[in-house]
Structure 1
Amino acid sequence: MGFREQLDITRLPQHIAVIMDGNGRWAKNQGKIRHFGHESGVLSVKDIVEGCADIGVKYLTVYAFSTENWNRPVEEVNALMELLISTINQETATLTKNNVRLNAIGDISSLPEQCIHDLGEAMRKTADNTRCTLTLALSYSAKWELVTAAKKLAAQVAEGKLNIEDIDEHSFSAQLTTHDMPEPELMIRTSGEHRISNFLLWQMAYTEFYFTDTLWPDFRREDLFEAIVDFQKRERRFGKTSEQLN
């Protein structure tokens, strides 16, 4: 029996976050340059998006490019930006065909002008799609996001629009880039690394983590289903005891 058949469709995570790691190592194993791994990784993204939409996962957020990634060699960064533009333009029609909405979080203004334009157009064209929301974390940093949220609240207090006593986790969450989606219940990281690398630090306070040695270009929907099956075997207590839950 495959993992797809083992899924309890009534207990799916509503929101899955993914750290797509291992493109460079996968390319090296193939005797290719790193960009070959990034190109192959796009196929995995497509398959995982379709897998999520197929079973009914409503939100998928993928860590596509961190603020730290700007420190990589200029040639690799430029190639990644070109790949981002070409992928967005090639896949917008497919997203609409599959009723998937495209979203983006991060310091989008730091992206190349063409990226910003094409990303905005793709988001506009898919805005009415309702089956699943694919969010690309681009030029994203959780620390950047938290500092930005704090600055927004501070400005509201300074302008007399908000009392400092009214700041709580709900008002803080409302300032985050993910304010219009549920917090991720499952986070998947590929390639054998066991860290969250400045990704959704606030949102993943109670997220279940799943780590796999599979490199991202080899990760497919059956691997996704395996991760969800593992997730469904866990007891999520949120600070309570097992007895309270039962």
Structure 2
Amino acid sequence: MRRRFGSALGRGGLSLWATCASVALITGCSSETTSGVPPLLASSGATPPPVAVAPTIAPNLTPITFRPGPDFAPITPPPVQPDLPDPPSLLPDGEFNLLLSDPANPAVIPPVGSAFVTITLSGLFAPGVIRSVEVQFFNISRGTDITGIFLPTAIEQFRNTLIGRGNSYDDRINGITLTNGFTFPASLAAYNANVAAGERVLVIVVIRDSFGQALRLEARAEAN
């Protein structure tokens, strides 16, 4: 009798447990049996809860100021200079003088033979070789240029006497010397019209060598 009752109770209990489980699944009556089950979507179309969104960082609109680079001025190196020889000069015992005089016998200097000036030059040092020579005469008492009263051929001959000299052995050791000086004849009428006794005459000689280096020589004399 007890065994039947137990069998009947077992069968009835299993049916009762299945019924309770079905009801709990539908109605959600038991928290133990519904734990972890997601809720069903509502059919009414209600808006779901908002999803969290990461905050947006506002851009930095401040303009970026770049630091200017250093302003290095371009450096131009000096031009390369060749190893130049010494410029033209007068040696310590050199001489450059001017003499104004009337010849004792005008007939010995034809066709002018009237008046002249003489330049004495010695000890001129020009190792770079003389390239050009300029000659000018001035009456500094009147402030006039009197180069034109002397024979142009004499001035040209004076230039040619010096151009090309300076690098020979004798020129390098003793310097360039014009033996007895160099005489510039002038017409007596032109000389007397431009130079009077007691007035001072200036001669300027500019000597340039092949490297453009220059020497300026000056001498003064008083007319008699």
Structure ranking higher in helix proportion = 1
The TM tier, using the shorter chain, reads under 0.3
Larger RCO (CA under 8 A, 6+ residues apart): 1
Structure ranking higher in strand proportion = 2
Q: Scaled by the length of structure 2, what TM-score is found?
A: 0.24
Q: Scaled by the length of structure 1, what TM-score is found?
A: 0.22
Task: Name the larger-Rg structure.
Answer: 2
